[in-house]
């Protein structure tokens, strides 16, 4: 589904990532961990096509990202939902309008999909905040709104960058429950996190592989986690 073949990445100051080969099969659950600055966000961006590798090949759904035209990229954006580290909401739009934004951008009418939108807001526990604005949300509510926005197009893959970075443990568990539910529905999940407790808790609920960035490459973390 997403495949990296001998991938390297260099922002210009030397290789940050090097020689990475990995397959993310459908329905898999992966965590990505590693020290700050190791390249986790960069790795995620390579997986969802925000960056192209400086060496090697990344392909998604059987197509090399380098060969994708605008239509392919638009299709990729629908099939891969991303929860960004900073959530990046439009503060002048309500929570429900922010969550519905991928629909609006792709030319669909959110009014026509209102039931779907309401169901999604209820699923993430934000029905009461639908008409609020992003600055009025707590950290945990922001992350759940970002997850709702990431899944509104029914993507097959969900990629989340430090989704529990700024929220308390109770909220982290709530978010993890949603991600586990998505995985049980067959979605492929990739999460970058520093939070080893989150990884340990997840591993009691799903079969998750833990990847660690070390010396510019990816290693499979052992059972010590």
Residues near ligand ATP, by CB under 6 A: 11, 16, 34, 36-42
- Closest approach of Cβ 153 to ligand ATP, in Å? 25
3-state secondary structure of 8: strand
| Residue 203 or 216 having the CB closest to ligand ATP | 216
Cα Rg of the chain, angstroms: 17
CB-nearer residue toward ligand ATP: 31 or 102: 31
Instruction: Check: CB of residue 23 under 8 Å from CB of residue 61.
Output: no
Contacts of 31 (CB under 8 A, 6+ apart): 191, 192, 193, 199, 202, 208, 209, 210, 211
CA nearest neighbour of 201 among 158, 170, 165, 156: 170
Minimal distance in Å, beta carbon 17 to ligand ATP? Answer: 8
The two tokens of residue 163 are 């989704």
- Nearer to ligand ATP by Cβ, of 96 and 195: the residue is 195
CB of residue 133 to ligand ATP, shortest distance in Å? 27
Map residue 153 onto helix, strand or coil.
coil
Q: Which CB atom, from 27 or from 55, has the smaller least distance to ligand ATP?
A: 55
Smallest gap, in angstroms, from Cβ of residue 54 to ligand ATP?
12
Beta carbon nearer to ligand ATP, 95 or 175: 175
As measured in angstroms, the least distance from the Cβ of 24 to ligand ATP is 18
CB-based burial label for 40 (10 Å; 0-12, 13-18, 19+): buried
């Amino acid at each position: 589904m997403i495949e990296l073949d001998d991938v390297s990445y260099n922002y210009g100051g030397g290789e940050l990532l090097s020689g990475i080969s990995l397959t993310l099969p459908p329905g898999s659950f992966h965590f990505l961990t590693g020290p700050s600055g190791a390249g986790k966000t960069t790795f995620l961006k390579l997986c969802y096509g925000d960056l192209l590798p400086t060496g090697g090949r990344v392909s998604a759904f059987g197509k090399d990202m380098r060969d994708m035209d605008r239509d392919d990229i638009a299709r990729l954006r629908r099939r891969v939902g991303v929860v960004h580290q900073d959530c990046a909401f439009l503060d002048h739009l309500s929570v429900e309008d922010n969550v519905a934004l991928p629909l609006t951008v792709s030319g669909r009418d959110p009014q026509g999909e209102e039931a779907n939108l309401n169901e999604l807001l209820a699923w993430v526990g934000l029905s009461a905040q639908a008409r609020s604005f992003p600055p009025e949300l707590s950290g945990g509510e922001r992350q759940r709104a970002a997850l709702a926005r990431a899944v509104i197009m029914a993507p097959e893959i969900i990629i989340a960058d430090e989704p529990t970075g700024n929220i308390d443990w109770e909220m982290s568990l709530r978010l993890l429950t949603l991600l586990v539910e998505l995985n049980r529905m067959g979605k492929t999940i990739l999460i970058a996190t520093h939070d080893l407790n989150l990884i340990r808790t997840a591993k009691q609920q799903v079969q998750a592989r833990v990847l660690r960035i070390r010396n510019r490459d990816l290693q499979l973390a052992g059972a010590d986690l």
